[in-house]
């Protein structure tokens, strides 16, 4: 997959079902994760990420970007 990540994506808020815009966060040279984050009008934080499955799950769960520990 050589898709360039979109800078903005839209999701429905889990709480109020309004549309939430999430923005691509700055990442390091490692491109195994493209993290997105945004906040709904109701204050609910919305996280999304694409890329490595483990890194995506860790980011969505904790908001932390895990870098490679095994170079
Ligand atoms: Zn909301």
Nearest to 46 by CA among 6, 1, 16, 4: 16
Interval 6-42: pLDDT, tens: 899 999 999 999 999 999 998 765 678 899 999 999 9
Residue 71 — very low, low, confident or very high, per pLDDT cuts 50/70/90?
very low
Ligand 1 centroid–CA 40 distance in Å is 5
Q: Give distance in angstroms: CA of 46 to centre of ligand 1.
A: 9
Tell me if 58 sits within 8 A of 45, measured CB to CB.
no
- Quick one: which of 6, 12, 7 has its CA closest to 44? 12
Cα-to-centroid distance, 6 and ligand 1 (Å): 22
End-to-end CA distance of the chain: 23
Q: Is the pLDDT of residue 48 over 80?
A: yes
Distance 1 CA to ligand 1 centre (A): 32
């Amino acid at each position: 997959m050589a898709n360039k990540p979109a800078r903005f994506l839209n999701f429905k808020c889990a709480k109020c079902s309004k549309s939430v815009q999430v923005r691509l966060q700055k990442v390091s040279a490692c491109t195994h994760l493209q993290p997105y984050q945004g906040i709904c009008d109701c204050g609910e934080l919305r996280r999304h990420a694409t890329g490595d499955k483990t890194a995506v799950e860790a980011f969505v769960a904790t908001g932390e970007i895990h870098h490679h520990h095994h170079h």
